[in-house]
Amino acid sequence: MGKDFAGKVALITGGSRGIGKAIALELASGGADVALCARTEGAAELVAAEIAALGAKALPCQADVADASQAQAAVTATLEAFGRIDILVNNAGITRDNLLMRMKEEDWDAVLATNLKGAFNCCKAVARPMIKARSGRIINVTSVVGISGNAGQSNYAASKAGLIGLTKSLAKEFASRNITVNAVAPGLVPDTGMTADLADQVVEQMQAQIPLGRTGTVQEIAHAVTFLASERAAYITGQVLVVDGGMTM
């Protein structure tokens, strides 16, 4: 990859672990300075130290993206620290899995608030500086369950399907300003939102449906995100790149 992202600034939500951490490290390896947004105070400090060790600058931000004012504050802090935002990765996500008949209203609301409204809040906050710069990359981390659905995850699947609609709509709104908006839909990746609360038996059944015969890695998701964030993807917008070993084809 070299230093494809030298001089670029990325803001990553849910950047303290899992897929978000992998994306942050890959972008930093490519020369980007990175702002890491995490809901838990201090959660992003260790990743920030790893980024600094790579020779890039890092800004850990504590923010709950479901709150518009906190999302805006994270964007403002990033602009104050680095002067620009070239790449936004909406990766923050939570699960509150249950069958519909047992799902509490607050569990529906919490998942939609973080996974979908959180992305809306962050997109809105970066829109003005990106439009002013007439340049930008927005990548939303959705999920294959937003395409195919999953029993026991109606809230999570609905939030991820909503992200796809948001992606396509914003791609049309921002295209004239040279801002691309795309989504990456991970398949079965251990220790991430899609699998966090699923029973081992369910995960085994899902893995049996993967033609490549294995689960994915956070690094493989990060590769897809960084490709869409790069200049090599300048003519790609409004797309959903599915990275699932063939599970949903």
Catalytic residues: 156
Q: Is 10 helix (H, G, I), strand (E, B) or coil?
A: strand
Residues whose CB is less than 8 angstroms from the CB of residue 45 and which lie 6 or more positions away in sequence, other chains included = 60
Beta partners for residue 185, in sequence order: 242
CB 182 within 8 A of CB 234: no
Give the separation between CA 176 and CA 80, rounded to whole angstroms: 26
Give the separation between CA 189 and CA 186, rounded to whole angstroms: 7
CB 96 within 8 A of CB 148: no
